[in-house]
Structure 1
Amino acid sequence: MGKYFGTSGIREVVNEKLTPELALRVGKALGTYLGGGTVVVGKDTRTSGEMLKNALISGLLSVGVEVIDIGLAPTPLTGFAIRLYGADAGVTITASHNPPEYNGIKVWQPNGMAYTPEMEAQLEAIIDSGNFKKAPWNEIGRVRKADPRKEYIKRALEMVHLDGSYTVVLDAGNGAGSIISPYLQRELGNKVISLNSHPSGFFVRELEPNAKSLSALAKTVKAMNADVGIAHDGDADRIGVVDDRGNFVEYEVMLSLIAGYMLRKFGKGKVVTTVDAGFALDDYVRPLGGEVIRTRVGDVAVADELARHGGVFGGEPSGTWIIPQWNLTPDGIFAGALVMEMVDKLGPLSELAREVPRYVTLRAKIPCPNEKKAKAMEIIAREALKTFDYKRLIDIDGVRIENDEWWILFRPSGTEPIMRITLEAHTEEKARELMERAKRLVKKAIGDIQI
């Protein structure tokens, strides 16, 4: 983590750490880093979006960069627009699934992949140096407005085809997905029932699309006798899915199902996921010709590995999926279309979900001040290796220890002052026992640090 950029760009409380002044400096720094060219800028529905977007655009213009302002736009649409218009970079003003008082700035490469930590570090160095390029009065950049939605839907329909028509309930969480996701589903030939699809910036549910936050979606799917429920977070880079019986399909199960469908659709190959993904994925995709590769948490790490290995599909067990045949930007909207194609070709979700192996996954968050994280991880790594009887160790992002029956991941959050514990075991009893031991270890490690 850098001074400004975390796991997923800059993400802070508005008018505290994330101010118009900072957005202006990020715009100047990005323009200086690029040395000119064109940048696509979009924003999600947050009330602070317009303020931050305009400040960022001012910074870009001041160094002579041309700006394509696509206005209210989910992250996937920004990624699509960068490639559509042949831009040199893109920026989304979004805090993704964080509460409404947050906002953020996420920067994208020409291929639709997020900026890497190394690229963000270079931007930070320029921000702090204040050594910004200044364009003379007659070379200041210009803004033009554009709306890539029609082209996005047109191209998505070239890749996804349904033979039947289905009833889909779509919960956009009052986020930016509401301006395109229901429309794409309708163009696919489905009957669409929209929930929370007025892009107000005031969120009526928790934005992370999980079982708890999607209880209204689940009830609506059941009441309307719908085939599928689809939900997004604030910028629609994620997807949450409810099956035809009104049950939330757990992230791990959905990840396995869609990875398997991608192998069926595009052929055998590598599936990229993160260190917090469970064994079910490996067990489900292996018979379909899939080989699982694990990397650091965060969509940029997944996209990076996909590009490097020429993978078939990449996804995190948080509903963040990257379909490289489409784009290297995480895309919950296109993912929703693929879910419907999978249902169309393979059958109801409730039946498909039964084919995925079920193990017990537990997650915990332990409060941990940011300044204690590095030292705590050192202690945790040292003590975990003594405490648990493990066979394999993965330390590319936090510490993951595993044997054939279970795994535990200790990892500091990149966006919040917490330490995360994720684990999986074959039985509930074993999972609970491991979690108790893991929690004790983490709490002791944090408590032992004197600042």
Structure 2
Amino acid sequence: MTLIKSISGIRGTIGGTPGENLTPTDIVRFTSAYARLLRKNNTEKPLKVVVGRDARLSGEMVQNLVEGTLLGCGVDVASVGLCTTPGVEMAVVAKGADGGIIITASHNPRQWNALKLLNARGEFLSDAEGKQVLALAADDDFAFAEIDRIGHIVERQSFDRQHIEAVLALPLVDVNAVKAKRFKVVVDAVNSVGGIVIPALLRALGCDVIELNCNPNGEFAHNPEPLPEHLTAISALVVAEKADLGVVVDPDVDRLALVCENGSMFGEEYTLVAVADYVLSHTPGNTVSNLSSSRALRDVTEKRGGKYAAAAVGEVNVVAKMKETGAVIGGEGNGGVIYPALHSGRDALVGVALFLTHLARSGMTVSQLRATYPSYYISKNRIQLTPAIDVDKVLAQIKAKYAHEQVTDIDGVKIDFPTEWVHLRKSNTEPIIRIYSESRDKASADRLAEQIIGEIKAVCGL
């Protein structure tokens, strides 16, 4: 099947052949490499790593391997068990750990799992650190701790309560305002760890909660990526129950999608836009999203008197740009909200709490609130090339053709036109160019994508 090694960790399908799939051998190898990286940076003191997982069927098996390997490397383990990705990130800092490992394949289907690696700040490893892990994993010179130096499980304790309490304590989360509205909310947590924390958070906010797919047994009831085509059940249930809102999270709860009271999608891109609008209305400042995210965030930011900046795709890049620009809110257009007043990672819990506060104070329905924001449409396409084609050369030619427009090349090529944009990115694993375009309506976005696809084919002689 598939094993993908990248600077952010290791991801693959469970079982099969080592080096080709995510097998116990690969899990031990990469966990050991990560422990060796931490040891290189901390040669004297004892090391401690936080380990948590989503509710995937393979999660317990992978967790046992990860924790046992860390102990064998002389690293102490603080196990938080079933935990969201943002929860593990926060736990690393709260427990004074040297790093963390999140066992989750995010929105990938049930046969997938992954190790996501964190530093002592509870953030994903930098590019340089990730490359060191890959190099160490490729080295067969492994050595494990002798009996007097093996690690210990220093605690096994959930971090969910601390995470929820930290969200509720934020100054911009108005618990009383939300409670006064007594919102009825339907939650679809795709039978993963979100089924534990999201209903608990909503009930703490005084909401009437209707649970859909909230049993954390790892049996995903639908494709776990929170896209409109996968959310027909919650859309229908929101209408049938006359609910105020639908809340959807992915298996590790770092992405948030919302459903309006009429069953329509609020739009993944607009989760961040709405939350940012609320935050900026009380905390003027700058924002950041990645190059493939909607222009609506820029519009809202500039309307509030702030400056918007775009980062390369990837959470680690967005976080770095947020720190560089002093952004008060940021994230990614896939429903990922990063609110540094809590921590520097995508977090659906803080997204829910801030959005509900915004909704409560606005006095609007969810669909009415959505209508207050600029309306854009993103068209997502790809073009398959032959292995013989030099993708970098193709992108360079497109960039040169549009040199008279606003062009950004920190991650592929993005061309900003006055009323629309197109972003071209190559795949790191296959000869594919991904083409994202945004305009005021679907027809215009599709037209722009087709225009660029035609130009790429002409350059390649296809």
Q: Structure 1 length normalisation: TM-score?
A: 0.92
Tell me the equivalent position of 1:150: 161
Cα deviation for residue 385 of structure 1 reads: 3.4
Letter in 2 for 1:281: L
Letter in 2 for 1:157: L
1:98 aligns to 2:115 (yes or no): no
Cα deviation for residue 185 of structure 1 reads: 0.7
SS at 1:290 equivalent: coil
| RMSD between aligned residues | 2.2
Which one of 415, 434, 442 corresponds to residue 401 of structure 1? 415
1:174 aligns to 2:191 (yes or no): yes
> In the TM superposition, what are the counterparts of 1:384-423 in structure 2 within 5 Å?
385-386=400-401, 388=402, 391-413=405-427, 418-423=432-437
**Cα gap change, 1:131 to 1:329, in 2 (>3 Å):** farther
Cα deviation for residue 437 of structure 1 reads: 2.1
Cα deviation for residue 57 of structure 1 reads: 1.7
* Aligned pairs, number: 442
Tell me the equivalent position of 2:300: 284
SS at 1:180 equivalent: helix
Partners of 2:218 and 2:457 lie apart in 1 by 36
SS at 1:55 equivalent: helix
Partners of 2:250 and 2:260 lie apart in 1 by 18
Q: Deviations over 1:341-372 (max 9, x none)?
A: 11111232211211111133211133468x77
1:112 aligns to 2:128 (yes or no): no
Letter in 1 for 2:420: W
Q: Which has the higher contact order (CA 8 A, sep 6+)?
A: 1
Tell me the equivalent position of 1:50: 60
Cα deviation for residue 257 of structure 1 reads: 1.3
Given that 2:7 and 2:131 are in contact with CA atoms closer than 8 Å, whether structure 1 keeps it comes out as no
Tell me the equivalent position of 1:66: 76
SS at 2:258 equivalent: strand
Which one of 301, 326, 341 corresponds to residue 342 of structure 2? 326
Letter in 1 for 2:32: K
**Cα gap change, 1:428 to 1:247, in 2 (>3 Å):** closer
**Cα gap change, 1:72 to 1:445, in 2 (>3 Å):** farther
SS at 2:60 equivalent: helix
Q: Structure 2 length normalisation: TM-score?
A: 0.90
> In the TM superposition, what are the counterparts of 1:176-195 in structure 2 within 5 Å?
176-195=193-212
SS at 2:425 equivalent: strand
1:259 aligns to 2:276 (yes or no): yes
Deviates more, 1:251-260 or 1:21-30: 251-260
Partners of 2:104 and 2:431 lie apart in 1 by 20
Cα deviation for residue 86 of structure 1 reads: 1.2
Tell me the equivalent position of 1:6: 6
1:306 aligns to 2:306 (yes or no): no
Q: Deviations over 1:397-441 (max 9, x none)?
A: 111012212211011346887432111123554433222122234
**Cα gap change, 1:188 to 1:418, in 2 (>3 Å):** farther
Which one of 238, 254, 264 corresponds to residue 221 of structure 1? 238
Partners of 1:415 and 1:59 lie apart in 2 by 29
SS at 2:109 equivalent: coil
Tell me the equivalent position of 1:381: 396
SS at 2:228 equivalent: coil
1:342 aligns to 2:364 (yes or no): no
Given that 2:376 and 2:441 are in contact with CA atoms closer than 8 Å, whether structure 1 keeps it comes out as yes
Partners of 1:294 and 1:311 lie apart in 2 by 11
Which one of 87, 90, 115 corresponds to residue 77 of structure 1? 87
SS at 1:208 equivalent: coil
Given that 1:362 and 1:422 are in contact with CA atoms closer than 8 Å, whether structure 2 keeps it comes out as yes
- Residue identity (%): 33
Partners of 2:378 and 2:256 lie apart in 1 by 19
Q: Which runs of 5+ in 1 are unaligned?
A: none
